[in-house]
Amino acid sequence: MDKAKEDQEDDELVDDRQLEALDRSVKAQKATEKDLKSNDTEGEKETLSSTYDDGSSSEANHGETDEESNRQLPGAATPDIDPPILSTQPIPTPSHGHEEASGTGEGKNGPPAALQRFPEPRSLAFSNPALLRVQGLPQGFATPVVVDPTMTDDLPGESVMSESGGIELIGHQMRNRLERLGVNKFFAVQASVIPIILSSPHSRSLYSPFRPPRDVCISAPTGSGKTLAYCVPIVEVLRTRLLPRVRALILLPTRDLVAQVRETLESVAKGSGLKIASVTGTQSFAAEQGNLIDGDGESLVDIVIATPGRLMDHADATAGFTLQHLRFLVLDEADRLLGQSFNEWLPRLMAMLDPRAKQLRKEDGDKLLKGSTRHSQAEILRSDAVKERVLRRALAPAWLQVDSESSGSPPDPAAIAQPSMQKLLFSATLTRDPAKVASLRLRNPIYVSVKSSKEDAQDDTEYAIPETLQEHMLVVSTEDKPLALFHLLHRSEAPLRQALCFAKSVEAANRLAKLLEFFEEKRGAEGVIKAANYSSELSAGERARVLQAFRNGEIDVMICSDLISRGIDISDVQHVISYDVPVDMRKYVHRVGRTARAGKQGNAWSLVEEQEARHFKDMLKRGGRSKNVRKVKLQGTDLQELRPAYEHALEQLAHRFGRQP
Ligand SMILES: Nc1ncnc2c1ncn2[C@@H]1O[C@H](COP(=O)(O)OP(=O)(O)OP(=O)(O)O)[C@@H](O)[C@H]1O
């Protein structure tokens, strides 16, 4: 596995690549056909295919209305190509309207856009059963279980039994563990989802081939406690197992999220004897294989937490790695995962989970015959060599049945064994791509939507935002935007601390951090803000140190790109500042979701340049948030006092970057 491939699905590097590749696209548009041909090498393709935030290929993005490729401000040709943050050049006024947004990228009067633009994805009309049918989506989506986000539930005591059969929802070991972790109540998403998964006797079995569990899709706000909502039931069900086999697979879009979920899962599973492995490419491939499988090809673990591309690498090359015993498949940050097409992971995973699936590629079967048992599909099982190996380690019921079908005894149609795996999809923003949802082949899914009943009834967008969040916007001129930020950090009334500040790219974040540093140096004793840049240019160790310093309160403001806007749980973030406004509602939701977590208060501040204001307001309106965002007016005098230090910092910055900002 070469390094470039390993890094492909890692967001940590993506922002840079995004810039690089988008930059290249701009140049490529201007280049002659001849130039284009000479550039079209394999290496080039490899780089281009890793340009998107979610690891999906550029081709896939163009063809599949991928979320990232649609995130351009109408009229802003290459939003992630970074004009100088302090540029005094006028930025083209964003154009509006669908025709332009979905056209060839050439506005009527504006400059030609560098990349083709596609229409913004529309929300799934989940309320329309006929449309669901046409889209191949389950009817369950039309009738969500709506849960009030402010609802909490006491942890079930030993005497509390479920309605459906006298089953304890969680055992005393789990209750003790949770209490030790400071969890004394279940949050709304947990109080609604855990009973769905655990409340009947057959839903707690490791195998339930004739009454397989229903799948569950959960849309719940950022910071609402989705991680525990799946960790608790997984540990409760799996703790009854005797032999380690891969029985739960948790997929996440980035390595950082895998590490974070592993931490939570380990604390919940402590004392259960369950073994957990993560598969992300942070370790060498051989080391990961050694964690997954012993010398005889037997599983060493019960739960695998993985990024999808790396998982497929193990599916390809780790002998004995099988998912036939899977009881839980969790897709956390499901919308983003489904937007990734790295390694064709989704169709291949679906094939691995289906005992009757056809082989996907000939070489898969060849590899198996050489000793790998990565696919346990019927055709592969029929090969004697593989069958013998797999039988030695026992087949899951559905696979066993397919195997007996192959030896000539057709199954009783009334008793066809199904895989016992339950799919759990979690997201704060539900995917807009019906084809991707349909391809998951959900089994009679229950759709749980944690959202306030106050939310606009006719609004079928699925942006779940914490109730404890207060949202603000400041409309500023491009030149004064840095000053507006410095004002928020320095104002005498409630200066912002414990803040995350988002810039549009890694480079923009770098420069903003440097500018703030020069500014603070100049102001000296007048109240120095401690800022740090959290960037993909830092090593993993350095990033961990910055995060820790921020958590300890040694850093007041952490400046970053969207690298950490999804899923990362930093406790006590008080403020999220969008220095550059997010290009779409989903990015907004995930950014602001870094604060107001776990029922705490939090604030979101968006610094909107004058020419972006209309687009930003439209975006909020479409996302059903316009009424929630309070406009803050700046007085000229607010900025005046900060101007001398700012101008000094600008000069320093120009000197540092070798150009006039
Ligand atoms: N029942 C609970 N009691 C106390 N704290 C909790 C509880 N459930 C979760 N938390 C805490 O709330 C925080 C947010 O939880 P978590 O990261 O699971 O949210 P999330 O819904 O996955 O957010 P995101 O969508 O941003 O990933 C964590 O710090 C977690 O420890």
* % of the chain surpassing 70 pLDDT: 64
> Taken in order 638, 644, 645, 650, is the CA torsion positive or negative?
positive
pLDDT tens by residue, 226-246:
999 999 999 999 998 888 999
Q: How far apart are CA 633 and CA 286, in angstroms?
A: 57
Name the maximum alpha-carbon separation found in the chain.
87
- pLDDT exceeds 90 at position 211: no
Q: How far apart are CA 607 and CA 626, in angstroms?
A: 15
Pocket test for ligand 1, best of 228, 305, 572 (most atoms within 8 A of CB): 228
Q: How far apart are CA 377 and CA 534, in angstroms?
A: 45
Q: How far apart are CA 558 and CA 499, in angstroms?
A: 6
Report in angstroms the alpha-carbon separations of 329 from 69, 71, 145, 217, 247. 27, 29, 21, 12, 8
Q: How far apart are CA 385 and CA 505, in angstroms?
A: 52
Ligand 1 centre and the CA of 126: distance in Å?
Answer: 27
Q: How far apart are CA 483 and CA 492, in angstroms?
A: 15
Residues 6+ apart with CB under 8 A from 192: 145, 147, 151, 448, 450
Ligand 1 centre and the CA of 189: distance in Å?
Answer: 10
pLDDT tens by residue, 264-274:
999 999 999 99
Ligand 1 centre and the CA of 470: distance in Å?
Answer: 19
The pLDDT, as a whole number, for residue 526 is 61
3-state class (DSSP) for residue 323? coil
Kindly tell me the number of DSSP H helices and DSSP E strands found in the chain: 27, 17
Q: Which of 79-83, 181-185, 437-441 has the lowest mean pLDDT?
A: 79-83
Over range 619-628, report the average pLDDT.
Answer: 87
The DSSP letter of residue 635 is: P
Q: How far apart are CA 420 and CA 521, in angstroms?
A: 61
Count how many Cα atoms sit within 13 Å of the Cα of residue 342 in the half-sphere of its side chain.
32
In order, the DSSP letters of 259-305 are HHHHHHHHHHHTTS---EEEESSSS-HHHHHHHHB-TTS-B--SEEE
Ligand 1 centre and the CA of 586: distance in Å?
Answer: 19
The pLDDT, as a whole number, for residue 347 is 86
Q: How far apart are CA 342 and CA 56, in angstroms?
A: 5
Calculate Rg over the CA atoms of the chain.
26
Q: Could you identify the atom of ligand 1 that is nearest to the CA of residue 189? A: 21
The complex's ipTM works out to: 0.98
Q: Could you identify the atom of ligand 1 that is nearest to the CA of residue 590? A: 26
Cβ distance 302 to 334 under 8 Å? no
Ligand 1 centre and the CA of 224: distance in Å?
Answer: 5
Pocket test for ligand 1, best of 169, 184, 187, 463 (most atoms within 8 A of CB): 187
User: Which domains does the chain show, CATH number per domain?
Assistant: 16-118 (no CATH), 140-343+425-450 (3.40.50.300), 469-656 (3.40.50.300)
The pLDDT, as a whole number, for residue 225 is 92
Ligand 1 centre and the CA of 571: distance in Å?
Answer: 9
Phi, psi of 531 (to 5 degrees): -120, 155
Pocket test for ligand 1, best of 181, 260, 424, 569 (most atoms within 8 A of CB): 569
pLDDT tens by residue, 328-347:
999 998 888 888 877 788 88
Q: How far apart are CA 389 and CA 293, in angstroms?
A: 14
Element housing 448 (H / E): strand 446-450
